[in-house]
Amino acid sequence: MLQLPTLLSTGDLAAIRDDLAQARLLDGRGTAGPVARNVKRNLEVSGDDPAIQRVGERVTKALQASRDFREFALPHKIRVPIVSVYEPGMEYGNHVDAPVMGDGPIHATRTDLSVTVFLSDLDSYDGGDLVLETPTGQSRTRLAAGGAVVYPTHYIHRVDPVTRGQRLAVVTWMQSRVPGHEERQILYDLSCAIRALPKATGEPERLRLHHVFTRLYQKWAVV
């Protein structure tokens, strides 16, 4: 799991909120699978609303500009997002997202990683924690507006009930060039270690580590 506390700039956040101010909302169960829709109680911006494309472009641009995201996710495809709205009493119970989204060789996406981008100020609502069931235990995430969390799509997860205010978030999914979560984590840890090398580290040593990274990436990548 990776947290990006300031993924969106103040300007991006303001523009997205403006785009969504007049957006048409639908019952969120319309985009859930047959099991998940039984525990899903929220609203979503209509997928054909013009705002969705603009919001998607801003979020995708911000993700691609983040070095941490690129090195953690190794993204190949990023889907057009869903914008979710939770009013008081709304929640999304424990569920697992679809392993593949979309149809056909062009539009189908293997959903290796999920991203939630928080759009609401923390003091504007209560509840609404994103709760992940990870291999090391339960993780709760509730970030300031503009922050994002990236996590393996196969984690069982939920959104706790909102008790006050409105929780607004962008959710999207991506296919990584490296399908395995453990392999991606090894590559990310190695990238971070290379970045953290002391300035005095010689070029031969840097090249050797970079060579290890490229060999592992080539071994595990699917293109």
Domain boundaries, the chain: 2-176, 181-220
Percentage of the chain beyond pLDDT 90 is 82
C-alpha to C-alpha distance for 30 and 47, rounded to whole angstroms: 10
Q: Is the model's pLDDT at 121 over the cut of 90?
A: yes
Collect all residues with Cβ–Cβ distance below 8 Å to 52 and sequence separation of at least 6: 23, 45, 46, 80, 81, 83
pLDDT at res. 185? 96
pLDDT at res. 30? 87
Structure tokens at 122: 């923390």
Percentage of the chain beyond pLDDT 70 is 99
Helical segments of the chain, H only? 10-20, 50-65, 67-73, 104-107, 181-195, 203-220
C-alpha to C-alpha distance for 148 and 63, rounded to whole angstroms: 9
pLDDT at res. 22? 86
Phi, psi of 221 (to 5 degrees): -75, 145
pLDDT at res. 149? 97
Q: Is the model's pLDDT at 184 over the cut of 90?
A: yes
Q: Over range 6-21, report the average pLDDT.
A: 94
C-alpha to C-alpha distance for 169 and 125, rounded to whole angstroms: 12
pLDDT at res. 107? 77
**Which range (87-91, 161-165, 186-190, 194-198) has the least confidence?**
194-198
What pTM value is reported for the model?
0.91
C-alpha to C-alpha distance for 197 and 147, rounded to whole angstroms: 28
pLDDT at res. 6? 95
Q: If you average pLDDT over every residue of the chain, what do you get?
A: 93
Cα dihedral 192, 5, 159, 137 in deg (nearest 10): 40
pLDDT at res. 146? 97
pLDDT at res. 32? 83
Fold exhibited by the domain 2-176? Jelly Rolls (2.60.120)
Tell me the per-residue pLDDT of 61-71, one tens digit each, with 9 for 90 and over.
999 999 999 99
Structure tokens at 145: 């507006």
Between 141 and 106, the higher pLDDT residue = 141
Confidence of residue 104 (pLDDT cuts 50, 70, 90): confident
Q: Is the model's pLDDT at 90 over the cut of 90?
A: yes
